[in-house]
Structure 1
Amino acid sequence: MKASAEKFYDILCNKTHQLPTISSQNLLSVQIHKGQWGTQGSIISWNYLHEGKVSVVKEMLEDIDKEKKKISFRVIEEELLKHYKSFKIMIQVTPKEKGSTLHCVFEYQKQRHQIPDPHAILQITLQINNKINAYLTHKYN
């Protein structure tokens, strides 16, 4: 990514509520139900477009490591859990000399063997992260 790790991580962790504005093609809304933005244990719901339809997911901000610029969300309700027994998204932004590197890991357990891997969710995540990068590099240039 061209954006700095600090700015990128700040959007993901502390300014999550800005994501529907940054990536309106993917995210319709983000709402906090418990806690505060950027705090461990907060409960957040996301309304997003998945394969052409509106989907909802509720996640807990499970782990925050500000020093390593690492954050993880565990899905606790809604549609993804119809297909997966558990689903966790971990994102780490690492500074580089110019810009940063983004590592995104999905940890999941399928309800049934026939359930496909979550490639569409990965695509949405990549699109959102690319929009964040474009927003940050445009905003601060």
Structure 2
Amino acid sequence: MGVLGKMEVELDIKSSGDVFHELFGNKPHHISNITPHKIHSCDVHEGEFGKPNSVIFWNYSVDGEKCEAKVVVEAIDEKSKLVRFKVIEGSILKEYKSFVVTLEVVDRGAITAVKWAVEFEKFEDFGPYPVKLMDFIIGMTRDIEAHHLNE
């Protein structure tokens, strides 16, 4: 059995947290218009955008390397502003046995944050942790925030 792991980052944002929940929960195909250097495309393969159990295919680049991910939307919770994707095929599964990404908007009154969590299982005890992917997620979050602050 490999190593089970979880990495989290919480980023305070100046834009509305609803923007992030709406984008990733209902309109992920719009993200490539905001961060085309990171997310190249997002297409629905089964179901429809905004619906749990839909299958979505992402094309993206991490550190200049082209990647792809086929994911199942495991959850979209409007009340807690949470979206969870489970990777079922793609580049990341060459390094990890399983990989789940969760976005949650955290409202703390005057401050709103976007909390990202990646849960993964490594094939072996050694090997990389998904630091590059977490850096990618942080950069994408900042790009989306900047885009919405400039509108």
Letter in 1 for 2:23: I
SS at match of 1:20: helix
Which position in structure 2 is the counterpart of 1:107?
A: 119
Which position in structure 2 is the counterpart of 1:85?
A: 97
Which position in structure 1 is the counterpart of 2:45?
A: 33
Runs of 4+ in 1 over 3 A off after TM superposition: 96-99
Letter in 2 for 1:19: I
**Does the 8 Å CA contact 1:64/1:71 hold for their aligned counterparts?**
yes
Unaligned runs of 5+ in 2: 1-12
Query: For the residues of structure 2 that align with 1:76 and 1:129, how far apart are their CA atoms?
Result: 23
**Does the 8 Å CA contact 1:90/1:105 hold for their aligned counterparts?**
yes
Query: For the residues of structure 2 that align with 1:133 and 1:11, how far apart are their CA atoms?
Result: 12
Unaligned runs of 5+ in 1: none
If the length of structure 2 is used for normalisation, what is the TM-score?
Answer: 0.86
Which position in structure 1 is the counterpart of 2:146?
A: 134
Query: For the residues of structure 2 that align with 1:119 and 1:99, how far apart are their CA atoms?
Result: 26
SS at match of 1:134: helix
| Identity value in percent | 28
Residue-by-residue CA offset, 1:24-60 (whole Å, 9 max, x unaligned): 1111111110111111011111111123221111111
1:7 to 19, 24, 35: 19
Query: For the residues of structure 2 that align with 1:20 and 1:29, how far apart are their CA atoms?
Result: 6
CA shift, 1:95, in A, is 2.5
CA shift, 1:99, in A, is 5.3
Q: How many equivalent residue pairs?
A: 139
Which position in structure 1 is the counterpart of 2:7?
A: none
CA shift, 1:8, in A, is 2.2
Alignment of 1:16-95 (within 5 A): 16-95=28-107
**Does the 8 Å CA contact 1:4/1:99 hold for their aligned counterparts?**
no
Please tell me the root mean square deviation across aligned C-alpha atoms, in Å: 1.3
Query: For the residues of structure 1 that align with 2:113 and 2:125, how far apart are their CA atoms?
Result: 33
Letter in 1 for 2:52: Q
Residue-by-residue CA offset, 1:32-89 (whole Å, 9 max, x unaligned): 1011111101111111112322111111111111100011000000111111111001
Q: Which has the higher contact order (CA 8 A, sep 6+)?
A: 2
